[in-house]
Structure 1
């Protein structure tokens, strides 16, 4: 119940960042359109009660009054292109630390 009160008074938001050459997000009305290195743009419609705000071409905010729904929509967007453990490219939450892996050792 406390989450519902907070949602109505302040609202919930999750900021996501896009890292990678050519990876972009654009607002198409109330929906988002992503360029994530695929051969086609990926549209994401805004569910009821959720709004999107694009701050820069590589950073956007998911906002709404339902904490669970905001988190779910943000997680579904992140799932489109998860951060790569080798290069770190992809969609990530703001402040998320990506564990990087070492590449191949190479020939000596």
Structure 2
């Protein structure tokens, strides 16, 4: 039995929720997000609380029950508070700057990397910290992973792009025999 799926999601007053068959639509202002449960679980909206139930006792349906509840909770959190990931740039000469809708990265290559910022995402750079903010948790995490993949941190000096809360395990350098 899903422990996550049992818990109802409280819906704030400024978020509008509508259920049409297997499709749940969340809206706040001009931002709309859709969740399709594909008939694997039941959804009910009662007293500003969204609750999920399983349609059958099949293992797959019980797994979807908790998954769809977690996805709906992430959508509500994204519409109210938003999500943020922070990346740190470590290395001599490594820089980042935002020019309009383009993130310009100088990461030690012979060329600059220009990353096009998608709609709905805001990126801010403060010294060596890149802040990525948005309403979609999956999109924020994917963009952070793509930016990190341009120059992942190396284990000897720790140079590269890393998550702010990530710790890099350092390796010992070469030693000389005596």
The TM-score range, normalised by the shorter chain, is: over 0.9
- Coordinate RMSD, CA, aligned: 0.8
Aligned to 2:88: 17
Partner SS for 2:126? strand
Deviation track 1:10-59 (CA, whole Å, cap 9, x = no partner) reads 00010110000000001111221000000111001101221111122x11
Which stretches of structure 1, 4 residues or more, deviate above 4 A after TM superposition?
none
1:40 aligns with 2:106: no
Cα distance in 1 for residues equivalent to 2:126 and 2:78: 22
| Rg larger in structure | 2
Cα distance in 2 for residues equivalent to 1:44 and 1:79: 12
Gaps of 5+ in 2: 1-71
Gaps of 5+ in 1: none
Cα distance in 1 for residues equivalent to 2:177 and 2:92: 28
After TM superposition, the score normalised by the length of structure 1 is 0.95
Deviation (angstroms), 1:95 = 2.0
1:96 aligns with 2:166: yes
Aligned to 1:69: 139
1:107 aligns with 2:177: yes
Partner SS for 1:52? strand
Higher relative contact order (CA closer than 8 Å, sequence separation 6+): 1
Q: How many residues of Structure 1 are paired with residues of Structure 2 in the alignment?
A: 107
Aligned to 1:78: 148
